[in-house]
Chains A and B, each alone.
Chain A
Amino acid sequence: MAAWIPIAILLAGTAKPPVVVVRKLHPLATVQPQANNFTLTVSPATITFTADNPGTLPVVAGSAATTASWTALGSGNNWSLVVQAASPTFANCSTVPISAVTVSCSSVNVFGLGGSGSCSGSFPLSTTPQTVASGSEGLVSLTYSVTLSFKLADSWKYIAETSPACSLSLTYTANVP
């Protein structure tokens, strides 16, 4: 993508008036991508579910909403946030499938000039990367914030396990090309 950026240069010490130069920045393919130039922060680190009674509470909400956020300069491309589970079942609880967890995006906030974003629909968790939210990058430094929630479908088919609790690691990837 090409972008126009007006840059004002003041030539000090001369009698000439300020000169305004408008220069086109060419596509950035000549510059190598920097892989670590922003940090994705996910909070809180752990979401807990207490599945006590599938008869009276068949769907259990996670203990808190999760927020994934990062700050990156935009380039006019599209961005996305994807999530995937690290394994097909919970550790310590092989009877609990990861598909019992539904991921929902509740809000997307893109702070900056020209950026936008929207939530994808809810989906069952999978080891395959799935897009939680996506949108367009702006041209100026942007802060992205995506809020997610999780729900667990409880079942009599699960073997009870209270200690150690069942656990599953999720990996989020923010793609900001």
Chain B
Amino acid sequence: MTKKSIFMTGVLLAMAGFAHAQTGTTTLSVTVGPEAALTVTTSSTTLATTSTTFGNPYTGTTNLTYQIRTGKTSGTGTLTLKITADFGGTGGPSVGTPPTTGDALTYTCTVSAPGTACTGTQTASTGSSTPFGTWGAAANSTKAGNAASVAWSLTDDPVYAPGTYTATATFTISAT
């Protein structure tokens, strides 16, 4: 009788000790938001001309690096620029109030894929943002960023008084 009781107890303990493998699950959920960033790699661009007869405009190029990711189905991206500080000084060039009709600060755009550059020659403005580049849905840059640039052209007007004039262009990039 005693031996039997001991044996049964031992078997129960043994069976209970036979744990095995069990599984459980977790779901990882990620919301990847649209985002864009911009770095102006040419922080100061000098506009210069080699002409001594007013035949060629002042030109220069500003380089940028953009990073972007847009929404998968209906996302967009937009890059614009605006002259937020006009050329100062008396007798110099002006974007907002050109000294001579026809004087202008114009530019052409270059935006590497997957972006699309603005078309043709654009005229910079102090009053509103003007086009630079666009992106469609499901666009993304590299981690390090993609290249873009703007080539400036400022009319060389004889009425400009000799001197150095500075303006500020502000670039804005956005994504949805």
| A residues apposed to B, CB below 8 Å | 5, 7, 9, 11, 19, 21, 23, 25, 28, 31-42, 44-55, 62, 66, 68, 70, 72-75, 90, 92-93, 95-96, 101, 150, 152, 154-162, 165-177
- Secondary structure type dominating chain B contacts: mixed
Contacts known (A39-B22, A161-B72); A156 close to B145, Cβ less than 8 A: yes
Contact call B16/A167, Cβ cutoff below 8 A: no
Contact call B32/A159, Cβ cutoff below 8 A: yes
B53 within 8 A of A: no
Contact call B29/A25, Cβ cutoff below 8 A: no
Which of A9, A55, A157, A172 makes the CB contact (< 8 A) with B24?
A172
Contact call B20/A66, Cβ cutoff below 8 A: no
B71 within 8 A of A: yes
Interface size on B, residues (CB 8 A): 45
CA distance A3 to B47 in the complex (A): 88
Chain A residues near B159 (CB-CB < 8 A): none
Chain B residues near A72 (CB-CB < 8 A): 19
Contact call A157/B2, Cβ cutoff below 8 A: no
Contact call B35/A53, Cβ cutoff below 8 A: yes
Contact call A165/B31, Cβ cutoff below 8 A: yes
Contact call B26/A33, Cβ cutoff below 8 A: no
CA distance A74 to B142 in the complex (A): 51
CA distance A48 to B26 in the complex (A): 11
Which of B5, B17, B25, B37 makes the CB contact (< 8 A) with A28?
B17
Chain A residues near B24 (CB-CB < 8 A): 40-42, 68, 171-172, 174
Q: Which residue of A lies closest to B27 (CB)?
A: A46
Contact call A47/B16, Cβ cutoff below 8 A: no
Contacts beyond the supplied A157-B69, A160-B35: 11 A-B pairs with Cβ under 8 Å: A28-B14, A31-B14, A34-B18, A34-B20, A96-B32, A154-B32, A156-B67, A159-B138, A168-B28, A173-B22, A177-B20
Contact call B35/A93, Cβ cutoff below 8 A: no
Which of A7, A28, A45 makes the CB contact (< 8 A) with B27?
A45
